[in-house]
Every structure is written in C-alpha cells, then in structure tokens.
Structure 1
Amino acid sequence: MSSPNVPPATGPDDLDVLVIGGGPTGLAVATLLGRRGLRVAVVERHHDVYPLPRAVHLDDETYRILHELGIGERFAAHTRPALGLRLLDGNHRELATFTRKRTTAAGLPQANMFDQPDLERLLRDNLERLPHVTLLGGHELLRLDTSGSATVAARVRRPDGTRAGLRAPCVVACDGANSTVRRQLGLTSDDFGFEQRWLVADVRCDLDLDAWDGVHQVCDTHRAGTYMRIGPDRYRWEFQLLDGETSADYAGLPRLRRLIGPWVRAVPDERLAVLKCTEYTFRARVARRWRSGRVFLAGDAAHVTPPFIGQGLCAGLRDANNLAWKIAAVLRGQAPPGLLDSYEAERRPHATAMVERARAMGLMMTGGGRLATLARGRLVPGLARSRAVRQLLLDSRTPALTPGPRIRESTPRAVRGALLPLVLLPGPDGQPVLVDRVLGDRSAIVALPGTDLAAVPDALPSAWLTIDPQGSAGERLLARWLRDAGVGWVRVDPDRVVSAAGPAGVLR
C-alpha cells in the first residue's frame, strides 16, 4: 500500500475491499475479510449460484479452510470421501490402485468429492450472516480506475442496466480464467504448454454403479478418460476429445453411452439423467504478476491448472486464506504494507508447483503414442509398488511456502513455510476442538514446555500455546512434530503457516 497505515472505511458508503467475482474464491475472500469486521462488496454477474457442476474435489488442507470460513460442519453433509486413485489401461484392466486413508488425525477425509453448486450455496448463505459484506448479484464490472492515490474506483452495470461507481482501498479480482480485471490491467501469464480438449459429463443415477469407490483414470493415448462418484446419486465422466470431435457428437444419452458404457452397461436408460455434457479445454497457465498496485489476483484469475490432481478450486481457496488476513492487518494498521508483498511471493511458486504437478500427471496418463501406452502397461504396476511414487500420489500435503517478506529464511527447513498440523485439542469444556479454534484469528506461538518467552523473537502480542507432550493425542502429535523438526517453538500466522521457529531456549 502507498501509506504505512490505511484506515478502514468509516463513512456509510465506504468499502474496505471490493471483490470482483462471486465464485468460491471470491466468496471465501469476502467471508474471511467480513469475519474480521471489514466492509466488503462482491460484484458477481450471476444473480444466483451457477447451476451446473464444475469443481468436484477438495483435499483435507482445503477442508480446513472451510472450517475457518464457518461452514466445515455443514459441508460434511454435502461431501463424499473418495478411496483414492485407480489407473486403468485402454481395455479397463487395472494397472495400479492407490488407496488413501479415510481420514486424517483431525477426522477430515484426504479426498472429498462434492457438487460445486452445493458449496457455493453454503458460502452464500454463510455470507448473509456477516453484516458488513454485500453480495451484488447481477452486477457486471465495466472498468477499474487505478489512478487514485488512496483507492481504486470501479464502474459497474446494475441488473437494470444503469451504472454505478464503487470505491475501495483494495480490490481482489476473483473473476475467473478469462478475468476482465487481469486483461484491463495488462497482466500476462506464463503458458506451460498444455492444452487438451475434454468432454465433461455429469450424470444422475439412482442405482449404485458396480465400481470401485474412487477415481478411475483410463491411461490411454487414444481415448484417455476419468470416472468418479460425486455423491449418493451423482457421477462424473471426463473423456479426451479426438481431433474433429465436439461435445455435440455426444449430445443425448444414447451417444454418451458409447463412452460411459463400461460403467453403466447394465443400467437402463430411465435410471440415468444427463445433467451436463460440455467441452472444456484444459490448460496450464500462471499469471506473471499477481498484483498491480492495490489490485490482487486470486483463483483462476491468477492460475489455471489441468484437473488431473484435483487442485483447481483448492488453489483458489488457498489464495483467499493467504491474502485475506494480510489485507485486514494492513488496513487496520496492525502490519506494515510490505506484508502484502508476501502474497505473490508465497502463493505464486506454490501454485506453479501444483500446476506443473498436474501437467506432469496429465502427460503421464495421456501423453505419447502407441509405444507410450504399451510402456505404461508394463511400467505402471512396478512403479505403483514404489514407496516414493505412492507417497507422491497419496500424500495430500502440498509444498511448503517460499521464504520471503514474512517467512524467515533462518527457520529450520522441516517446518519453514509449512502448515501447522491440524489436530484435535481439549476445548474449554473438555470436548475436542480443532487446534485452529484454540489459536483463534491471530498469530500464535506453539511451544514445548520450558521454552523461555525471551528466547522467542516477536512473541508479543502473539498468543502462547504450550503443548503437553504427555497430554491428549493431538498434543502428543504436535509435540512429536516439533521434536522431529528439532525445534522448541514455532510462530504460526492466522493462515496456520509457520513463519518462524527456533530452539526451546533457556529453561524456566
């Protein structure tokens, strides 16, 4: 920001933050800012939740963010854990199966299947509880004016066609892969050289399909495909389109059956309903700059990934969680403006790593010609027995964040930029609660007994949580994590990222 302390809005028409785009990322940003008392408006061109299914997977790290948003418990009624990943050849013979753990130490499934409209409804309903947040449905952004020294001005078209102006010290652009904001600001993207056309079909079936309850990936150069169960009666298939094909070639159930037949051969037509059958182009791109002055990119506006590891929506929610608390701290004068430089410094390398991982997975499953298909049939079963390969495919942890403006380079590598493990700790009434609820919305020091406050830089005004190594299962896990890393304490920021750590220091 241009000044060390940018006060939050005080006038009745003032905003602290303007969010462009009311999809999951935009709603998450607005919620996290609103829960911190900031005045926020979300400009969204659709009046209601976009009805067609899109994203269908999130991992346990992202599920943790849903709890921070206040919808974690309610989301549980709309999600279905997935067993893992099964690789098939072109004849649907099993090459390898990678089974995930059902739940983590905190009880969250590592792989969660869901219907995006269900998630968006939860997010919208939750947003209505925040008195300082307004969702402007049916509003379209026309242009941004970033020439002001203290605020950004936006011109929007209302549902009735009239125009209005909005102004805020910060703008977060969550307006998708074809971002109007990114284009107006002249921000370009790095293209990772991946572009494939796929057919995506969502089908409702009131019968249980006789199939392994995880993601099926058909590794076939001629016709790669993916199958997954989303809910009690919801299924998704994705198939790579051949040259000259379009989604129109598979319009209607009889034509679609040519592709989904191996899974539904015994199911009569009247038990199947096609909800969506459309073409998507899978790409791998990351914006070169995620910030232009007071405007920040997030979600698909900042990065687009192929879907092969199910991280598209996850990345957007991680952006929201990383950025929101920093904006709030700077606008309130609780942190220097330089903290906002850490957003792109941390999130861009992380998102790039995940995009590259998804691209590599896509090429492994679909790339090459006939010889590549034969090689997969011979090599994959052996690779599947490799502990390193299984760890890569099954471990839901994502890379640590890069050291920079807030994460100290001196922090031991084992915990530097990593997430604090999500565990259950005894709550005030003795019932187990997530450690995040114990820490609250603040930076916190998590330490082993005997750590001297004087040995911890910048400990105040942080909260202090001492872990009992002989206490609850969650405390024992945290104590073991600290000791395995060779540290006595860590500083955890509101997004649960470790930004500093050190030895226990002088014993009391």
Structure 2
Amino acid sequence: MAPPVTEHERPPVVVVGAGPSGTVAALLLDRFGVETLVLDRWDDVFPQPRAVHLDDEVCRILDGVDAADDFLAASRPGKGLRLVDSALRTLAQFDRDPDDRPHGFPPANMFDQPDLEHILRRRLAKAENVTFRGGVEVEDVVHEGDHVVVVVTDVETGRRESITADVVLGCDGANSIVRTAIGSRMTDLGPSQRWLVIDVETEAPLAHWEGVHQLCDPHRAATYMRIGATRHRWEFELIGGESPDDYADLASLAPLLRPWLADVSVDDLTLIRTAEYTFRAQVVDRWRDRRVFLLGDAAHLTPPFIGQGLGAGLRDASNLAWKVAGVRRGLLPDSAWETYQQEREPHARSMIGLAVLVGRLMVGGGERTMAVRRGVLPILNTVPGLASLVTDSTTPALSSSPFVRTGLVRSRLTRTALVGTLVPNAVLDDGTRVDSVTAHRFSIVTTATPTAQQSRDLARRGCVVVVVPPASPLGRWLARGRVNAALVRPDRTVMAAGTSPAALFTRVPTTPTADPRNSDAP
C-alpha cells in the first residue's frame, strides 16, 4: 500500500483517473516539469478491450510522451471503410492511401486498449515528476480558497484522508465523481443506442478485407473490424428487449457470427468477452469550475461510428496541459484556463455530431432507405476524390480564443484557414520532423530568417524558429494559407499566421519549461 499523502507533500496537480486521458495528461505535465499525483481505484490496467481506434493526429500526442513507437508496434493500420449489405456484398469501399501521412503516422490505427494502457503505465513509471497511487477511491472534490481538496478512501483499509492540490483534472470516466462534485451535467446531442460488443480471438483465417466493415442492414446494423493478428471485433445493434445474457457464449452468438466466418467453425473462436454498450452522444455543460477541469469521458461521450471517442480525451489532455503549466508558472494569465472549454467544446460537439450523422446514414431507416443505399452507394464509390474525403482523418479547426487568433489582428496578421489547425509534422531538410524540433514549445514556422536580435528575443522566451524553403512541404503549406509565417502552440496548433513574420515575433508567449528553478512557482 502506498503511504498517505501528507500536507507537506501536497501535489501541485492531482489527476483523478489513470485511464489513457489521465495518464497522458500526467505525462504531458511531466514534460513541463509539473509535479503530478495520479489517483485511481485500481492498481493495474483494466484488462477488458474497449476503444480500438486512434488517428494520426492523436498518434502525435502519444509521440509527445514517447509512447508512439510502442503503440505502433502493438497496433495495425486501418485500410479504410467498406459498406456491406445483409449478404455482406460490398456496396461501397473507401480505401486509405497508405503513403498519405502528413503527421508521420498511419491515418487510422487499430489496437487493443489494454495494450495502449500498459504502454502508458510503463511511461508513467519512468516520469520524474509523476507519482501514481492506486487502490484509492475518490469520494469528493471541494474548493477551499485558492486550492482544491480531494477526499479519498483507501480501498484496502477504509481509511479516509484529504489531499490538497492547486489543480485537479477529472479523468474518471462516464460516471465521473469529479463531474458530480462540481455540479456539471451532461446534455444529449443525439439518441442513445444499445449495442452488443463481441471480442474474439482466433488463429483461423477469416480472410476479410483489412478495413472496417459497416453492415447497412435495416433489421440489425453491425460493424466488424480486425484489431490485431488474431483479434477480431463485432458490434451488433441490440433489438427490442435483447440483452447480453441472450448472447453469453459462442453457441448463442453463432447465428450472428456465422455469415462472417465462411468456412471457419465457431468452435475455432475463443470468446474474450461480450458486453452491452449504450452508445451515447453527450457533452458536459461546464468543463471547468475554477481549478477543477473535466477531460475525456467525464466531459463528453460519442457514438463509435467515426472512432473518435478515446482520441477526444487525449486531445483534451494535449490542449490543457501546457495551459495548466503556463498559468502555474505565471507565464500565462489565469484567463488562459477559460480557453480550454472555448476551444474543446465546439470541437467535441462537431465530432459527436458527425458520429451521430454517420450512424444515421449507415444504419438508420427501413427497407426503403436500404433500397436507396443499394442504388446510390455503388455510384458514390466511383466519384473521384470521394474516398479521400471519407477516409480523411483531419478534424475541424479549433474555435476562436485568445490562443486561436482567427480574426484580423492589426494589418500585419492575416485571417487564414491555417489558424486553429495542426501544423503538419513534416520532414525537414535535416531528416528530422517538426515535432522533434519544436518539442512542446512555442514555435514559428516561416520562410523568412529572423534577425540576430529577433532570434535572441525568441530564444529567451523558449521559442523555436523553424525556417523552411518556400518549395518545401511546410513552405507549400504556408503558401496554401497565403502566409509566410505561422505561430504554433506547444500542442502543435497554429495560434496565428501572417505575411509579416516580425508581427508574429512580438506576440510569442513564453513557453512553460521543465526548469527546476521554477518548480515552486504558484
């Protein structure tokens, strides 16, 4: 059992929940030198499979905490989307271009969530500024002046204690205690649906195309995907009063699975689990109460049709960690925390809305709707460029905030489509990629070389200047935005852009760093 956290060991940040969102948040805070305590009810990773997909944008976040290489070794690229009818005949197929990697990673990656969590836990054990404490149940979170008190109970002994922190991140899932404690509530963005999730393992060759299959059947919608070398997942819509108890073993599952197995016997499968999932489309009304923040499933829930549920939580962590570090160091104003909901809520709502829409298009309606799909989808499949639109992993730009300057700022800064989007993780002339050079710092990507004085001023603020040739990938990216300089935040989001690099040079905030001299900053 871990020793109690006493008052003089008070952590600057407490993360409640050691799932992927909480663990990544802690690892990012570690990069900024912020001491963090992670609390969880369990000592080890939850062993059952859940999320199965992350895109290339989110892989960059994993790369920023040195977890991407291990993740890629444990995952497999997704090849696209195939829409099939009740006889599993292909209605349309949208292939991903395996060479299209603007962020340096496959645009879709299939994996087993426990594998990812083990990778993140190993990274957590090596983090210099992070302490993990399992076996504690968080009961309440209360503001006291300019601090937050987290009330916990030791699961083994029943002992209750309080932990005082400067900031608390609630990453404790859909039934979040932290969300309840601060009085935030979920609002519905679409109807809920009951689905049966089936995970199996087999050495037998199922010989399916290596992408996601969406069954467009008005009687019972379904999804199939291969997760790993021997791992497969099906998701079937539950009808009427059906429950997982009706499908507790392979014999009862056989009628659902047999069309997908061809010559493979059900006896050749090993059932890992069946579970009922209620697919919800929800977002919380308040993402923050003073020094308490909500991340991941505590803040939003999305249907799985575009595979963005888990990734949204990691995006939360990436958006918030540098702001928490910056405010604590006195490098950013307290109002910087307000930008968390300003930026993340519209993005999350947009992705949830897209998932609801895709779900309706793929599985909604009756026989008449299905007849329309049979006639229209094969035609759409022949439209040039449509496959790239369907499989594009690019998510919407962040909404305007003090750190996303979409409006005109004086005459030297430009309204541009680049602001609020991610800078490409392009390969530079020396063979490195942008992320390895900028490394969680403010940076300026430009085709203009700064003066010696400008370089010194930027270096004092911890800013990296990446000068690129106009004909390089980043030079062409700037040209498409009709600018020649972009100011990029520590989370790789373009904060501002313009035709005058000098105008950006004067607006760079100081980057939070892991400088131990700042470790006691308020």
TM over 0.5: yes
Q: State the alpha-carbon separation in 2 of the partners of residues 182 and 266 from structure 1.
A: 49
Match for residue 145 of structure 2 among 142, 149, 163: 149
2:322 alignment counterpart: 325
SS of 2:123 mapped into structure 1: helix
Q: What is the one-letter code of the residue matched to 2:443?
A: A
Q: What is the one-letter code of the residue matched to 1:443?
A: F
Query: Offset of 1:296 from its aligned partner?
Result: 0.6
Gap change, CA 1:16 and 1:505, over 3 Å in 2: closer
1:298 equivalent to 2:325? Answer no
1:438 alignment counterpart: 437
Q: What is the one-letter code of the residue matched to 1:86?
A: R
- Output aligned runs, 1:450-461, within 5 Å: 450=449, 461=461
Match for residue 425 of structure 1 among 422, 425, 428: 428
Matched-pair contact (CA < 8 Å) for 1:452–1:505: no
- Output aligned runs, 1:40-119, within 5 Å: 40-103=36-99, 104-105=101-102, 107-119=104-116
2:245 alignment counterpart: 248
Q: State the alpha-carbon separation in 2 of the partners of residues 220 and 413 from structure 1.
A: 43
1:447 equivalent to 2:450? Answer no
Q: State the alpha-carbon separation in 1 of the partners of residues 454 and 331 from structure 2.
A: 23
Query: Offset of 1:106 from its aligned partner?
Result: 5.1
> Deviation digits for residues 12-40 of structure 1, max 9, x if unmatched?
50211111111100001011111221111
- Comparing 489-498 with 30-39, greater Cα deviation is found at 30-39
How many residues of Structure 1 are paired with residues of Structure 2 in the alignment? Answer: 487
1:217 alignment counterpart: 214
SS of 2:297 mapped into structure 1: helix
Q: State the alpha-carbon separation in 1 of the partners of residues 147 and 130 from structure 2.
A: 18
Match for residue 132 of structure 1 among 120, 126, 129: 129
> Deviation digits for residues 410-444 of structure 1, max 9, x if unmatched?
25232110100011225xxx5x3321110122101
Matched-pair contact (CA < 8 Å) for 1:143–1:156: yes
Matched-pair contact (CA < 8 Å) for 1:489–1:501: yes
2:24 alignment counterpart: 28
Gap change, CA 1:506 and 1:109, over 3 Å in 2: closer
Q: State the alpha-carbon separation in 2 of the partners of residues 229 and 493 from structure 1.
A: 36
Structure 2, unmatched stretches of 5+, are 1-5, 409-413, 504-522
1:316 equivalent to 2:352? Answer no
Gap change, CA 1:226 and 1:506, over 3 Å in 2: closer
RMSD: 2.1
Matched-pair contact (CA < 8 Å) for 2:199–2:232: yes
> Deviation digits for residues 320-362 of structure 1, max 9, x if unmatched?
0000011011111111111111111000000100000000000
Q: State the alpha-carbon separation in 1 of the partners of residues 267 and 421 from structure 2.
A: 50
Q: State the alpha-carbon separation in 1 of the partners of residues 27 and 400 from structure 2.
A: 27
> Deviation digits for residues 72-111 of structure 1, max 9, x if unmatched?
1111210100110000112211110000122414541111
Q: State the alpha-carbon separation in 2 of the partners of residues 177 and 230 from structure 1.
A: 24
Matched-pair contact (CA < 8 Å) for 2:416–2:497: no
1:123 equivalent to 2:124? Answer no
- Comparing 285-294 with 159-168, greater Cα deviation is found at 159-168
Match for residue 182 of structure 2 among 162, 179, 185: 185
Q: State the alpha-carbon separation in 2 of the partners of residues 198 and 127 from structure 1.
A: 33
Matched-pair contact (CA < 8 Å) for 1:44–1:138: yes
Q: What is the one-letter code of the residue matched to 2:467?
A: T
1:7 alignment counterpart: none
2:417 alignment counterpart: 414
Query: Offset of 1:382 from its aligned partner?
Result: 2.3
Q: What is the one-letter code of the residue matched to 1:447?
A: T
Gap change, CA 1:99 and 1:319, over 3 Å in 2: same
1:401 equivalent to 2:404? Answer no
> Deviation digits for residues 158-213 of structure 1, max 9, x if unmatched?
13221121111111101111111112222122201221100000000112211111
1:14 alignment counterpart: 10
Query: Offset of 1:391 from its aligned partner?
Result: 4.0
1:495 equivalent to 2:496? Answer no
Q: Which structure 1 residue ranges, 4+ long, deviate > 4 Å from structure 2?
A: 450-456
1:5 alignment counterpart: none
Q: What is the one-letter code of the residue matched to 2:402?
A: P
1:280 equivalent to 2:280? Answer no
Q: What is the one-letter code of the residue matched to 1:154?
A: V
Query: Offset of 1:130 from its aligned partner?
Result: 1.2
Identity of aligned residues (%): 45
SS of 2:286 mapped into structure 1: coil
